A and B are shown apart, each in its own frame.
Chain A
Amino acid sequence: MGTRRVSAAEGWFTVDADGPHLLGTRCAACGTVHFPPEHGFCRNPRCTGEDLPGIRLSRRGRVWSYTDSRYPPPAPYIARSDPYEPFTLAAVELAAERIIVLGQTVPGVTVDDLEIGREMELAADVLHTDGEHEYLIWKWRPRAWGAGGVER
């Protein structure tokens, strides 16, 4: 029996045949992109838009800042391994949307592999499993890094 792969961030992220995508919304009135997706009201204070159709965000961007987590975060975080292994985080700026999105990097990437401005691309990886499901999350992978994360 295999495990079923589902998104750990329902409605924020999907993995299709052509790879992983962040799912946002774009205000029909003013064009503001929202991620996580905003449903109901545009967050631009000069806009009263309520029509916020879904969009897919760019899959490449550049590192705005980065760090790592040398100690295990508290619940509700579910560590991937026991004993705990530190992971790296990157805040990546998407040029087309002019937005910065935080994510873990794929396993194996350390802060020594990153620098501000480095080009990154979206990947998918298992955040945690519960026996029946593998919960997938978006991660950032340095371009030309090779494999890392789950592949379709």
Chain B
Amino acid sequence: MSGGEVAVVGTGMHPWGKWGRGFVEYGVAAARAALTDAGIDHTDVGFISGACTIRNGYPGFVAGAAFARALGWSGARIASCYAACASGTQAIAVARAQILAGLCDAALVVGADAAPKGFFAPVAGDRPDDPDWLRFRLLGATNPTYFALAARRRIELYGSTPADFARVKVKNARHGAANPHARYRAKVTEAEVLASPVVADPLRLLDICATSDGAAALVLMRMEKARRLRGPLVRLCAAATVTPRFPDPVLEIPDVATDSRLAAEPPETPFRASIARAAYEEAGVGPGDLDLAEVYDLSTALELDWYEDIGLCPPGTAEGLLREGATEIGGRIPVNPSGGLASFGEAVPAQAIAQVCEITRQLQGRASGRQVESARVGLAVNQGLFGHGSAVVVRR
């Protein structure tokens, strides 16, 4: 299956951190940077695609309009996308489809958030019909609870150790130290990770990504138009979102229980692995073609799961890949050269877009200080709760 290609001609970000301002401000900064990078005016954009945040009231739910208004109403078509952590990918996918359908030549994709401190929490109010509300009320199950359940399984199944998890953080912190948009720019040692307080056994504070403010934006363009621009042509060749297949036997945020496997056997390809597979099929590439990947390291242990889920190595062997240095810059297949969520933190609607910004800049040879040599193909994967598994493939 081929979904068709569009060009990525502009990238822009607002630095991640805790800045104490509204999400629209961050989004506009990122959008303006992406438009400047593309060398086009806001009024040349035919479609504005906003990734929604649910943490900032009404404008957050209509992110496309919130950004469009702040940039100046231009009469562009718009959309607003909510898919939890996959919101950014959804916004990219919708913009790409508009271009491929011939409805516009250039589209602006924007995601931004101003996250609360500490744990993510559900929207306020008594809402016992909301699964997200219920898992907090009834179980006290925070996001790290679920990361920790997965980490403990990894220890049990594959003999992973807390030191393996710490190595992921050390690698990503080293990468992020060279990224001017990252929130955390300090190198970290394995001992520091292992000495940080336990949040949810076996995971420690430095194993888990923080919540952050931040923004990212992309300008996408019809291939024929983009060919007239100067510089290397970077092509978005897959933007796939897939749901799990019933019965999913893995306990995921925000569920209290898994599907029952009583009436049907789980699918051969587990949900997380199916996410990358959908994007590979759409782009006509495989894991062996990748030069780099940005994966969703909500926890250090989850990054190891992703190595296997995106096909970099067989199940149970991710620690080996990490230890031999294959996934650091200079290795065979660098993972999270941006520094990952470990260095950025979560700014939910922005982060999937930020992953694509990083891969694009890597393919353009503009990732100063963290450049993956001769990078031609990159994969970004993430998982938005409520069944939004998303992946993007970008190539030169």
- Seen from chain A, the residues whose Cβ lies within 8 Å of a Cβ on chain B are 8-10, 27, 30-36, 43-47, 64-71, 73-78, 87, 89, 91, 97-104, 111, 116, 127, 137
* Majority DSSP secondary structure for residues of A touching B: loop
**Cβ–Cβ contact A70 & B136, under 8 A:** no
> How many B residues, CB 8 Å from partner?
45
- Distance in angstroms from B208 CB to nearest chain A CB is 11
List 7 interface pairs A-B (beta carbons < 8 Å), by A numbering: A33-B260, A36-B257, A43-B259, A68-B200, A76-B136, A98-B262, A102-B257
> In this assembly, does B119 line the interface, its C-beta being within 8 Å of a C-beta of chain A?
yes
Query: Interface of B with A (CB < 8 Å)?
Result: 118-119, 121-122, 124, 126, 128, 133-134, 136-142, 145, 148-150, 152-153, 156, 197-203, 245-247, 249, 251, 255-264
Partner of A73 from B136, B198, B260 at Cβ < 8 Å:
B136
Cβ A76 vs Cβ B137 within 8 A = yes
Shortest Cβ distance from residue A138 to the other chain B in the assembled complex, whole angstroms? 9
Complexed CA–CA distance, A33 and B259 (Å): 8
A30-B263, A43-B259 given; A74·B200 CB < 8 A = no
Per the bound structure, the CA–CA distance linking A30 and B246 in Å amounts to: 13
Contact A45 B257, beta carbon cutoff 8 Å? no
A112 and chain B: residue at smallest CB distance:
B201
Whether B263 contacts A77 by the Cβ 8 Å rule is no
- Closest residue of chain B to A97, judged by CB? B260
Is there contact, CB below 8 Å, between B136 and A44? no
**Contact call B121/A75, Cβ cutoff below 8 A:** yes
Q: Is the CB of B263 within 8 A of A75?
A: no
- Residues in B neighbouring A32, C-beta threshold 8 A: 247, 259-260, 262-264
The 6 closest A-B pairs by CB, nearest first: A67-B148, A74-B121, A98-B261, A65-B149, A73-B140, A33-B260
B251 to chain A: closest CB distance in Å?
5
Contact A68 B262 (CB under 8 A): no
**CA of A107 to CA of B106, assembled, Å:** 58
- Across the interface, B198 reaches (CB within 8 A) one of A36, A43, A70, A137, namely A70
Chain B nearest Cβ from A114, distance in angstroms = 9
Which of A35, A36, A73 contacts B142 (CB under 8 A)? A73
Contact check, B200 vs A67: say whether CB atoms are below 8 A apart. Answer: yes
A44→B203 CA distance, assembly (Å): 34
Beta-carbon contact of B138 and A137 below 8 Å: yes
Q: Which residues of A contact B119 (CB under 8 A)?
A: 71, 73-74
Given A32-B262, A46-B264, verify A77-B140 contact (CB < 8 Å): yes
Q: State which of B141, B197, B245, B259 has its C-beta within 8 Å of the C-beta of A99.
A: B259
Choose among B119, B137, B246 the residue with the greatest number of A CB atoms under 10 Å from its CB: B137
C-alpha gap A104/B137 in the complex (Å)? 12
